[in-house]
Amino acid sequence: MSAENKPVPSRIFVVKVTGGQERNVCSLVANRVEARKTPIFSLIYSEKMKGYLLIEAVSAQAVSDAVSGVKHVRSYVPGVMTMADISGLIATKPTMEELKVEQIVEVTGGPFKGMRAKVVRYDSAKKEATVTLIDAPYQLQVTIDSGYLKQVTGKGS
């Protein structure tokens, strides 16, 4: 087997970021990796690990090059993680992909918890839905993360 055909060994590094900014940092780092052709294979963030970004790369130097100077990056966590450590984080979970326009849903979290709403628009890339609150005294459109929406069964759906 020649050196060209050997798979490049990768490791998973952890970067500490500002809590709640994981998606933004991931997007910024992904853009930088594409522009600079840095040897980074994947970027992972999870709601289960708030404040952390997992980066699969060849070396710590590649990770350092990709995240240096990016806003909201706090520090590097020393060491590497194994696939066994993160297998629970990357297991697929059914999402609200089946949300449709005009569908009746219930808000399960946030300031509008318990209110019923009608879906006006759904962005599957951002996993956000713009809804009109039905229980509000006036028509109010709000954009909510789809994780906070639950389909209402029975009447209205």
| Domain membership flag for residue 44 | yes
Query: Do residue 41 and residue 80 come from a single domain?
Result: yes
**pLDDT digit string (tens) for 83-107?**
778 877 776 655 555 788 899 999 9
Q: What is the CATH number of the domain that holds 36?
A: 3.30.70.940
**pLDDT digit string (tens) for 119-132?**
999 988 788 999 99
Report CA dihedral (63, 37, 20, 18) to the nearest 10 degrees.
40
| Domain coverage including residue 132 | 104-151
User: How many domains are there within the chain?
Assistant: 2
Q: Is the pTM of this model over 0.85?
A: no
Look over the chain and give the mean of its residue pLDDT values, rounded to a whole number.
Answer: 85
